[in-house]
Structure formats: C-alpha cells, structure tokens
Structure 1
Amino acid sequence: MQLQLNGMGDLVWHAQYFRCVAEQSRDGQVSVIVAPTTMARELVGHEPWVREVIDFDRRPRKSERRKGRHSGWGGVLRFGAELAPKRFDRMVLFSDHPGRAILACWRAGIRTIIGFGDTWLQRRLLTKSPWISRYRGPAVAGYKDATAFCIAQGFCSAPIVPRISVRPDALERMRERLAPLRRPLHALAIGASEPYKQWGEGNFVELANRLAARGHGVLLLGGPAEGELATAIQARVDPALRGLVATMTDSTVAESVAALSLVQSCIGNDTGAVQFAAGVGTHAFVVLGPRPPLEHDPEHVHMLQAPRLADISAADVEARVLAELGLLD
C-alpha cells in the first residue's frame, strides 16, 4: 500500500483507512510505502496492522538539500527492484498521479494494482475496479479522495474520522515531563513546512503572553528546526509570566503525539502537530488564513480563517480557544 502525499498530517488523515485495507489483507497486516517525511515509523509503526514501513525516497524536502534515492525514472525502477523480493500480491495506491508507482509495481512483478482511476490513462494502467472521481470542491482534497476510494473499494462503508494511537512508552515519558506545567495547558505548534503557513514569531509571543496572563500553561512545541524560534519566543514573553511558558523541540514525533494527548488545546500553523492533536482527540486550532478549509474532523479541528494570514490576531485566537473550551471568565 502506498501513499503519494508526503506530510505527517497527510499520514494521520489516511491511517484509519490503511487499517481498513489491512483488515482485508493477508494476516490482517499491510506494508506501508511512504515518503520518509511522513515519519510513519513514529506515527503508525507500532500499530498491529503494520507489517513494515518502506521508504519511497523520491522527493526530499528542499531544506534537506539532497537528491532522493528514488528520484527520477531510474530511481523509480530501482525502487521497483527493491520491492521485487517481497513478492507482494497487490498494491493499493492512494495517489492522484500514480504513474511512477505503477512503473515501480511492474518492475516489482506486482500485477494487481488498485487506484483511483480518475483519468482514462489510469483506467488503462490500473487493475479494473470501482473508480472514483477526485474531489474538486473548496476543501483540502486528500482526505476526501481517500474516503471516496475506500468506500468504493469496499474497505469501509462510511467516512472515518482520522485517529492515531499514542505509543505507551512515549506517553509515560511525556506525563513525567509535563507534570510540572500549569493547567489548563495549551501547546503552540510553531513549526511550518512553508513560509506562507507561518503565523509569525510576534503573534506567538502575544498569544503566549495572553494565555499565561490568565494563569494557563503554555508549551512551545516543534521539532529541532524550531529550536531557535522557540527560544526567541520564550525570551520575548513578559518576564513575570515566563515561568508558565515551556519549550519542547527536542522530542521525537511519537513523544510529540503523546504530549498533545495530555494538553487541553493545540494552537498553531497548518502543520503536522495540529493534525496529531486532533488525531488523539485534543482540540486543535489551526491558523489557516485564506487557505482551503479542513473538513475531516469538525469536532476537534477548529479553523481560523481570514482574507490574509496577517489579519488573524492573537486576541482573535485567544477568544476562539477560550470560547470553544468553555474557559471564558
């Protein structure tokens, strides 16, 4: 089974559908083929329905400044050769552009290849099965397409809200680490994969000040790449409030998921962390600006939209969070 999309949030949206495919597969398990950037081993590698995670290293992030091992047509053929010894019975493709994956399957000797079938060419190259028309509405399409595909193929009978499980060992470590922090505790997801998604240091400083002034705890959450940003934000917080603001940029992805299961809210950029939060049942507030809406979990994903990202103020975000959580004075 292969996922074309390469974000951690993308994997969260698809995980429950992958489980459904596994339930109809040999031994109730599947091999999951994904980009390394999805961090699949951390997010779903512990799930009983995952036989193994296989990296399809075709398109690294620009920040990595390297060529993927499976980039180009030669890399795709090389990937197919790597898959051949595994003797897979079939490939289920969650992809709207499956050409390279189909070529890899043929090189690997996989002849049952199930996919969307959205175009006439896909219908010529894929194994005949129920086709879907890709979602072309106003919302983000990835979850919509996966839902339609799984229902059409009989993997499930209705849409499934994305959920992921927390690794028990990571949860134990995070309970100990977060125990000293004040409650209610809000995680600020300060990372962003693209500059246009970044709400900005100043806005996070103001929001941290506002929440801490109410006596709430604040956790600045990101990966190693956000270490400097987290330090800068904390340094600009009112000195009298700084003791209520902690940083966590040294944790693993699994530990971040665990931490987000222990906070009252996650607020931040459109990044993997807010999807982790919603995936474990925590209220996630996404500063989206003018971008397409997220419709996969209306109960836990709260969108903050405006004509421009800069139009969304910290006061607006604070009011929305407190209202949704019932914390208004």
Structure 2
Amino acid sequence: MTQADTRPRTAVQLQLNGMGDLVWHAQYFRCVAEQSQGGQVSVIAAPTTMARELIGHEPWVREVIDFDRRPRKSERRRGRHSGLDGLWRFGAELAPKRFDRMVLFSDHPGRAIMVCWRAGIRTILGFGETWLQRLLLTKSPWISRYRGPAVAGYKDATAFSIAQGFCSAPIVPRISVRPDALARMRERLAGLPRPLHALAIGASEPYKQWGEDNFVDLANRLAARGHGVLLVGGPAEAALAEAIQARVEPALRHRVTTMTDSSVAESVAALSLVQACIGNDTGAVQFAAAVGTHAFVVLGPRPPLEHDPEHVHMLQAAQLADISAADVEARVLASLH
C-alpha cells in the first residue's frame, strides 16, 4: 500500500493579465506544485494569459481555471466574475474543488481573499506588504514589493517564492514546447532560409509599437542578406503583417512569410525554431526567451527586463523612434557570431 499524500491541495492565482506575465511566473508555480498534493496545482488566471495553451500540458498543472473578471476592451462585455456578485459566484464555483490553500501571486489580494472565504479555503498565502494584508492573509513570511528601476512582476514573484520556501534562489523563466505543435511548425517553416528570424509585430499598447516602417526596413535588411523572416502575431496583426510583407522588395519577398493564424502553442513552437526573435515588448518575445531563443526587445525608454540576461537583449533609447532598423540589425548579426 502507498502512503497517503498529505500535502495540501493547492491553487495558485496570477493577478497580472498578460501572457508574458504568466511566462515569468510559470517556474515558480511549478515549485509550488512540488510541495502540493499529487505534485500538481490548479492555476487560476485571466483568459488573456492563454494559460491552457502555454502551460496546460505541463505535468504539474492539474487544471487551468479562468478568472474572467476583466475582459479585453475589444470584447465589449462584462466579465463573468466582475463586481462583487461575480467574485461571490467565482468562490461558489471553486468550493466543490475543496482546496486546502490558495497561493496568491498578487499585490492586491483583497478580491481573492473574498473568493477564498466563499470557497472555504482557509490557508491563503500572499505578499503581506501592508498591515491589512497581514491581518487577512494566513500568517507567513512577508515581503516588500520591488520598487527598483526594472519591471517588477518577476522580481515580486521571485521574492515571494523564496520567502515562502518554494525555492531557494531566482529561477530563469522557462516553458516547454508542445511536441505536436513543434511537428507542425517544423513542416510549416521548412522552406524558409536559415538563419531564420521572427519579427514579433504585435503590441498590447500603441506606445509599445515600433511601427510598420521599421519592421519593413528590418525585414528588407535581413532578407537581403539571404536570411529568412517570419512575421509573428495574432489575428489582430494580420493586416499589419500583410502590409509589411507587401512592402518587402519583390526580389526578396520569397524569404519572408507571415504567421498570424496559428495557436499560441504553435507560436511558441515556431519561436523555438528561429535563431532570433526581434520585436515589441509583447508576449512573443517572452515566449522566445523562455524556450532558449535570443530575444531582442525594442523597449525605448521603458523599464528594463532583468529576468533572463542571457536571452533577453534590450534595445533602449530616449524615444522608441530613436531605435533604427540598422541598429537592430547590427545587434542581431553580432549575436549570430
């Protein structure tokens, strides 16, 4: 007879809404799973993180649970879990799962605490930065939020995971590639020249967008060297990808292709097959770095990314417009050598 697994049945919740945010947290979720019942956790995240596509196949993920509180503006709908009534509803949905504890990767845990109480979860671990959080959360080691010059999400997740004993040191973000998606992408990209570069043309906000002209210039420069170019985005970037490809020099156009119709899992697989990914500060460049591909992020004057110095290369300037395609090309070519 096997000994009963007495580790707590655990859910982890991510407050942040982006796909890149999920990538930064995934390895810390895995560490929580190692100390949880069955070596697994249930992951609670916003649908915008695409958690099923990104980590749903991982053996340490029991299930992905959508927390539908804040839909994208383009969806023009109220989230199922918006408002106090929605939070109460979400707690009722979680109650039958009988979680022993909730691990909150959140600096504003108030809503989640309400959900936990409705769900019957009494061990609630969180940052505990304020006196009110310490009053409402289960007593445990607290942290102070990162307030340095870099992007804070990964820094806070790291400090919290170390303080709670889930790990002993920072972990570089990594995700695995779905084998079926990898097989499809190998076939789809087989005809493109090497080295092959992905241009991540999407942007969640206008101020992050490097712009069509720059991507056209860079695509032309790389293709003129005999390199392959893959324009990566989602359905929202289909028109932009077509416009960029149409402006590539006709003699070079066979070296450039678009990919805006693939799943997130397929995009991750494709980014594992390229030599470099260059683009806006968006989920795609985080995917690339997390599968070991060199990612060149056109950041401009924004806070630096410090989670993976080996694979994340920042292109910064006083203004985003000050970063030229020639500058980017030089950085990318240097990395190949």
**Normalised-by-shorter TM-score class:** over 0.9
Aligned: 1:148 with 2:169? no
Superposed displacement of residue 72, structure 1 = 1.1
Per-residue deviation, residues 68-114 of structure 1 (Å, max 9, x unmatched): 11111111111111111111000000000111001000111101000
Tell me which residue corresponds to 1:198: 209
- Which residue of structure 1 aligns with residue 224 of structure 2? 213
- Listed one character per residue, the Cα deviations across residues 272-312 of structure 1 (whole Å, up to 9, x for unaligned) are 00000000000000000111000000000000001111111
Tell me the percent identity.
89
**Map of 1:182 onto structure 2:** 193
The residue that corresponds to 2:4 in the other structure is: none
- 1:97 aligned counterpart, secondary structure: coil
Whether 1:27 aligns to 2:38 is: yes
Find the aligned partners of 1:325 and 1:276 in 2 and give their Cα distance. Answer: 19
2:150 to 110, 119, 139: 139
Q: 1:172-199 CA distances to partner (integer Å, 9 max, x unpaired)?
A: 0000001100000000000011111110
Letter in 2 for 1:223: G
Which of these residues, 103, 108, 119, is aligned with residue 114 of structure 2? Answer: 103
Which of 300, 311, 317 does residue 300 from structure 1 map onto? Answer: 311
> What are the Cα deviations for residues 123-146 of structure 1, in whole angstroms up to 9, with x where unaligned?
000000000000000000000000
Return the alpha-carbon distance in structure 2 between the equivalents of residues 216 and 64 of structure 1. Answer: 38
Tell me, in whole angstroms, the C-alpha distance in 2 between the residues paired with 1:5 and 1:306.
27
Instruction: Provide the rounded CA distance (Å) in 2 between the counterparts of 1:160 and 1:57.
Output: 29
Distance 1:16 1:274 in 2: 17
- Please give the root-mean-square deviation of Cα atoms over the aligned residues, in Å: 0.5
The one-letter code sitting in structure 2 at the alignment partner of 1:65 is: R
Question: In 1, Cα distance between the equivalents of 2:54 and 2:185?
Answer: 16
Alignment partner, residue 130 of structure 2: 119
Give the residue type in structure 1 aligned to 2:95: A
Question: CA deviation digits over 1:203-229, x for unaligned, max 9?
Answer: 000000000010000000001111000
Does residue 91 (structure 1) correspond to residue 102 (structure 2)? The answer is yes
Tell me which residue corresponds to 2:7.
none
What residue identity is the alignment partner of 1:135?
Answer: Y
Which residue pairs with 2:73 in the alignment? 62
Unaligned segments of structure 2, at least 5 residues = 1-11
Structure 1 outlier segments of 4+, above 6 Å? none
What is the aligned partner in structure 1 of residue 82 from structure 2? 71
| Matching residue's letter, 1:111 | R
TM-score (norm 2): 0.96
After TM superposition, give the deviation of residue 67 of structure 1 in Å: 1.2
Q: Is 1:238–2:249 an aligned residue pair?
A: yes
SS of the aligned residue for 2:251 comes to coil
What amino acid sits opposite 1:267 in the alignment? I
CA distance in 2, matches of 1:324, 1:261: 16
SS at match of 1:307: coil
2:180 is matched with 169
Separation in 1, partners of 2:75, 2:241: 21
Matched residues in 2 for 1:54 and 1:298: separation?
32
Q: Equivalent of 1:47, from 13, 33, 58?
A: 58
SS state of the match for residue 241, structure 1?
A: helix
Residues 233-287 of structure 1 show CA distances to partners (whole Å, capped at 9, x for unaligned) of 0001111111110000000000000000000000000000000000000000000
Segment of structure 1 superposing worse, 56-65 or 120-129: 56-65
Q: CA deviation at 1:64?
A: 1.7
Distance 1:91 1:132 in 2: 17
Could you tell me which of 297, 304, 309 is aligned with 1:286?
297
Q: Determine the structure 1 residue equivalent to 2:17.
A: 6
The answer for unaligned runs of 5 or more in structure 1 is none
- In structure 1, how many angstroms separate the alpha carbons of the residues matched to 2:112 and 2:272? 35
CA distance, structure 2, for counterparts of residue 184 and residue 284 of structure 1:
14
